[in-house]
Amino acid sequence: MNVDILLYDGFDELDGIGPYEVFDYAMEYANESGGSAGRVRYVTLDERESVTASHGTRVGVDGTLPEPGAADVPDLLLVPGGGWNARDETASAWAEARKGDVPRALAAHHGAGTRIASVCTGSMLLAEAGVTDGRRAVTHADAVDELRESGAEVVDARVVDDGDLLTAGGVTSGLDLALYLVEREFGAAVADRVATVVEYERRHEVAGGRRSGNESA
């Protein structure tokens, strides 16, 4: 499973870094049994060396997001949130929504069949792109009303699986999203091992998906 996490200035650190660590551990463990489990990387729309997150952390970038249909297009494209409710016009999800480049890229990838995921107010960037219109989704509690007004069907859950669209609530729910996807891709043993090493107590609050072959709440 190849995962690209799309960063921009002002993204919330844990929204992006938490899932990255979960995926990285999972691929390391899955590779122990042979073969290639895939890769996870940080990407941006423009060529640059680093991105400055909402609390000042500088994060190195691995490359740029491939164009839809390219050979190295990811199996999963994840977008973090950050700064939406503060209406920061310089570095935030809100700023990226106003610029329009990130929403356009998300819409193009979704239209081309890329599976899309978001954490926290990353779903508001998906809403700006029209990806969540008429779809089951969730976001940070402070932005739920806006998400509903945008045309999404808001679901009260930590993680919402709507097929090719997966969304997670605020901040730490990104860990639940990533662990859920790891279990789907590599099995419960790998997911539980990752949860143990990061000392995170999983909250199996997933709406619309399945866990270990069973329908979830």
Per-residue pLDDT band for 204 (boundaries 50, 70, 90) equals confident
The Cα–Cα gap between 51 and 71 comes to: 25
Pairing type for strands 159-161 and 165-168 reads: antiparallel
Amino acid at 54: S
Domain ranges for the chain, please list them.
3-215
pLDDT (tens digit per residue) in 133-170: 999 999 999 999 999 999 999 999 999 999 999 999 99
Per-residue pLDDT band for 213 (boundaries 50, 70, 90) equals very low
Provide the CATH number for the domain formed by 3-215 in this structure.
3.40.50.880
The Cα–Cα gap between 183 and 140 comes to: 24
SS3 83: coil
Residue 215 confidence (pLDDT): 39
Residue 172 confidence (pLDDT): 95
